[in-house]
């Protein structure tokens, strides 16, 4: 009888890419994907531990799947990703209905764990960190499939140890992938019809560190620019401290590089930036933002901001608000600080109350909402180049794609346009997307 799996993915692009590998691995052992947990013989959660809320969500979902096991005794339930990495065997101890746990360096061992659970009803876990050589050997290679856009991993792990952040603990040390492999993969993707690649890593700007003689990230982008078929290049995430002049210049010289950069600032206060161990000052950040705009005047910046880092004063927070007003981000992702066990900041005293932190968060959102709206409305009436990614969920005959600064645009058109860059005149602008009309050539 055909076996089925249901996979839920939380967190960042790293997990999205790992989940693509999970799908490939499970297909190879005769499992097909389904979109309802009730229809599955195997349920997997690929988890995120970045904030307490993300982690609690995992336990919430597991609790919901527990009764399914009572109804279907053969059902296998597994947890992977960053919560699995951090909790390890403890998850199996705490949750007796769980069958398997696999960490961020052990995705490749999933088939073995599933098969053990199937045949011997044996519970298992694999959460040890692997050495550099093994990780480089195991770097997954993925195929293009039907996709128009693809993530391509250029590095894994993080060595920055920002004081609030769990990523270095759950993803391990930073390693860069050899550029030859990256470029081969992108050539294959291009041959399969992929038009846009996003190079991903926690800190792509330090690409090549630890690989002697390797290309710089800017040189790598230049090589990708030369690959036929690829029309657009993006990358994420950039760390401001490692944003080199050479990389800034790419925004002036590389035509395929999209005019958007996600450059998380986290805070506008020098005092807090130091406590966060971010390695740059407010002035250095502002200077880099200015130089990016010099290199590409129409570039749009987006950012991540943490509100309520331990000891943040009203004055520190005002610095953040002013920075946001000065940079005028197209959008920001803001988060209330969440203490993560094992990180340096987890031990810091915090005199502020939850109410104060929430009030600051709301003030920040309000300031940014005005600015975001202004950016969105600049698009109204403009004709923009849209890379068509697929049919939109709204309904028949509707397509969706993205502008070069990463806004989603919905418009009417035929399926043949998927994969092409077409001119679309923006009509209505909504919070998360634009509605436009295709302009005939």
Q: Identify residues 279-308 at the interface with ligand SAH (CB under 6 A).
A: 304, 306
Task: Give the residue among 215, 200, 285, 179 at the shortest CA–CA distance from 18.
Answer: 200
User: What is the rounded CA–CA span in Å between residue 160 and residue 252?
Assistant: 28
Q: Is the peptide bond before 367 cis (omega within 30 degrees of 0)?
A: no
Compose the 160-199 pattern: x for residues touching ligand SAH by CB under 6 A, - for all others. Answer: ----xx-x--------------------------------
Largest CA distance in the chain: 64
Q: Closest residue (Cβ) to ligand F3S? A: 11
Q: Beta 260-262 vs 232-236: how paired, if at all?
A: unpaired
162 is in an annotated binding site: yes
The piece of 165-173, 222-230, 387-395, 427-435 that touches ligand SF4 (CB under 6 A) is: 165-173
Closest approach of Cβ 52 to ligand SF4, in Å? 16
For ligand SF4, which residue of 39, 74, 131, 161 counts as binding (CB under 6 A)?
Answer: 161
Which SS3 state, helix, strand or coil, does residue 180 take?
A: helix
Q: Identify residues 193-222 at the interface with ligand SF4 (CB under 6 A).
A: 202-203
For ligand F3S, which residue of 5, 7, 11, 384 counts as binding (CB under 6 A)?
Answer: 11
The b-or-e profile of 118-130 (16+ CB within 10 A means b, else e) is beeeebbbbbebb
One-letter-per-residue 3-state SS of 24-88: HHHHHCCEEECCCHHHCCEEEEEECCCCHHHHHHHHHHHHHHHHHHHHCCCCEEEEEHHHHHHHC
Q: CB of 357 within 8 A of CB of 308?
A: yes
For ligand SF4, which residue of 154, 162, 243, 387 counts as binding (CB under 6 A)?
Answer: 162
Place of tokens 């390695």: 279
Task: For ligand SAH, give the closer residue by CB, 179 or 202.
Answer: 202
Please state the length of the chain.
441
Q: How many helices (H) and strands (E) does the chain have?
A: 14, 19
Does 207 bind ligand SAH (CB under 6 A)? Our answer is: no
12 is in an annotated binding site: yes
Does 155 bind ligand F3S (CB under 6 A)? Our answer is: no
Does 167 bind ligand F3S (CB under 6 A)? Our answer is: yes
Task: For ligand F3S, give the closer residue by CB, 266 or 403.
Answer: 266
250 is in an annotated binding site: no
Does 165 bind ligand SF4 (CB under 6 A)? Our answer is: yes
Q: Beta 175-176 vs 155-156: how paired, if at all?
A: antiparallel
Q: Identify residues 340-369 at the interface with ligand SAH (CB under 6 A).
A: 340
Task: For ligand SAH, give the closer residue by CB, 205 or 403.
Answer: 205
Site residues (vs ligand SAH, CB under 6 A): 50-51, 164-165, 167, 202-203, 237, 239, 264, 266, 304, 306, 335, 337-338, 340
Site residues (vs ligand F3S, CB under 6 A): 11-12, 14-15, 48-50, 81-82, 166-167, 170-171
């Amino acid at each position: 009888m055909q076996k089925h799996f249901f996979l839920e993915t939380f967190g960042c692009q790293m997990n999205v890419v790992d989940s693509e590998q999970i799908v490939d691995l499970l297909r190879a052992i005769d499992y097909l994907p389904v979109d309802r947990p009730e229809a599955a013989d195997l349920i997997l959660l690929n988890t995120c531990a970045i904030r307490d809320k993300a982690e609690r969500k995992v336990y919430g979902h597991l609790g919901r799947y527990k009764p399914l096991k009572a109804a279907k005794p053969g059902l296998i339930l597994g947890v992977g990703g960053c919560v699995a990495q951090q909790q390890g065997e403890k998850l199996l101890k705490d949750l007796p209905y769980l069958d398997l746990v696999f960490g961020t360096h052990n995705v490749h061992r999933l088939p073995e764990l599933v098969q053990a659970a199937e045949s011997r009803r044996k519970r298992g876990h694999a959460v040890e960190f692997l050495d550099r050589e093994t990780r480089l050997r195991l770097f997954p290679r993925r195929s293009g499939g039907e996709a128009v856009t693809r993530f391509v991993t250029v590095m894994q792990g993080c060595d920055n140890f920002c004081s609030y952040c769990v990523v270095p603990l759950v993803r391990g040390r930073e390693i860069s992938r050899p550029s030859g492999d990256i470029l081969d993969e992108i050539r294959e993707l291009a041959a399969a019809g992929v038009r846009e690649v996003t190079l991903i890593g926690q800190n792509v700007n330090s690409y090549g560190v630890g690989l002697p003689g390797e290309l710089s990230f800017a040189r790598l982008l230049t090589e990708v620019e030369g690959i036929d078929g690829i029309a657009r290049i993006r990358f994420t995430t950039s760390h401001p401290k490692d944003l080199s002049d050479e990389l800034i210049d790419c925004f002036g010289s590389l035509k395929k590089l999209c005019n958007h950069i996600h450059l998380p600032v986290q805070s506008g206060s020098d005092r807090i930036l130091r406590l966060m161990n971010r390695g740059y000052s407010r002035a250095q950040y502002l200077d880099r933002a200015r130089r990016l705009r010099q290199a590409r005047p129409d570039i749009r910046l987006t950012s991540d901001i943490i509100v309520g880092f331990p000891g943040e004063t009203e004055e520190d927070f005002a610095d953040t608000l002013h920075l946001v007003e000065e940079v005028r981000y197209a959008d920001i992702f803001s988060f209330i600080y969440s203490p993560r066990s094992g990180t340096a900041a987890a031990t810091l005293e915090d005199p502020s109350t939850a109410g104060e932190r929430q009030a600051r968060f709301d003030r920040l959102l309000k300031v940014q909402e005005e600015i975001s709206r202004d950016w969105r409305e600049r698009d109204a009436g403009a004709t923009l180049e849209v890379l068509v990614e697929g049919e939109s969920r709204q309904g028949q005959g509707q397509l969706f794609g993205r502008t070069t600064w990463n806004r989603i645009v919905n418009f009417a058109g035929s399926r043949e346009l998927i994969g092409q860059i077409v001119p679309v005149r923006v009509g209505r602008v909504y919070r998360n997307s634009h509605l436009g009309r295709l302009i005939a050539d």
